[in-house]
Amino acid sequence: MTRTRLLAAALTAALALTAAPLASAMTPSAAPKPPKHRHLSLTNQDNRQSLAVHKGDEITVRLSGERTPDSTWTWSVPTAADGAVLRRGAVGTAPNGDTTAVFHAQADGTTTLDSRLRCVADQPGHVCSQAVVPWQATVRVRR
């Protein structure tokens, strides 16, 4: 009987050692983590640049205007040519001509982000230049 018990104990131990890895292999593993979304910032210096982003990424456009004693060179709020590709969220402007807009990459495609710099007279009788300075960045969104 001792021999039978030893054989049964050995067989039980072998089964236990074999079953543990099988059980852990059969348990569902943690779901893969979604990719981390990037946060990109674009400024005056990024005019005429192209960039590639992924769906879910966030782009903040911060353009700096300029105040003079008689006028302010102010930026229009940035827009996306295709709002289905880049959805605009928060926007802001400042008295010194600065502007900010946040965009979220929503769908595959290519679009542009656009803004315009114009002179606004701050003093009565001051005549501003009629010049308009465009700012644009091309954004390609992919998965």
Residues 18-55: tens digit of each pLDDT: 444 444 444 455 666 656 889 999 999 999 999 999 99
**Of the candidates 113, 133, 108, which has an alpha carbon nearest to the alpha carbon of residue 61?**
113
Q: Would you say residue 119 has pLDDT above 80?
A: yes
The rounded distance, in Å, linking the Cα atoms of 44 and 64 is 7
Q: What is the DSSP string of 30-44?
A: PPPPPPPPPEEEE-G
pLDDT tens readout for residues 60-88: 999 999 999 899 999 999 999 999 999 99
pLDDT reported for residue 11: 42
The rounded distance, in Å, linking the Cα atoms of 19 and 15 is 6
Q: Would you say residue 1 has pLDDT above 70?
A: no
Whether the CB-CB separation of 106 and 87 falls below 8 Å is answered with yes
How would residue 10 be classed by pLDDT, with cut points 50, 70 and 90?
Answer: very low
Q: Average pLDDT in the 53-60 region?
A: 97
Whether the CB-CB separation of 62 and 22 falls below 8 Å is answered with no
pLDDT tens readout for residues 89-100: 999 999 999 999
How would residue 124 be classed by pLDDT, with cut points 50, 70 and 90?
Answer: confident
Question: In Å, how far from its chain's centre is CA 73?
Answer: 28
CATH class of the domain at 39-142: mainly beta
The rounded distance, in Å, linking the Cα atoms of 107 and 100 is 22
How would residue 15 be classed by pLDDT, with cut points 50, 70 and 90?
Answer: very low
Domain ranges within the chain, ordered by starting residue: 39-142
Q: Would you say residue 136 has pLDDT above 60?
A: yes
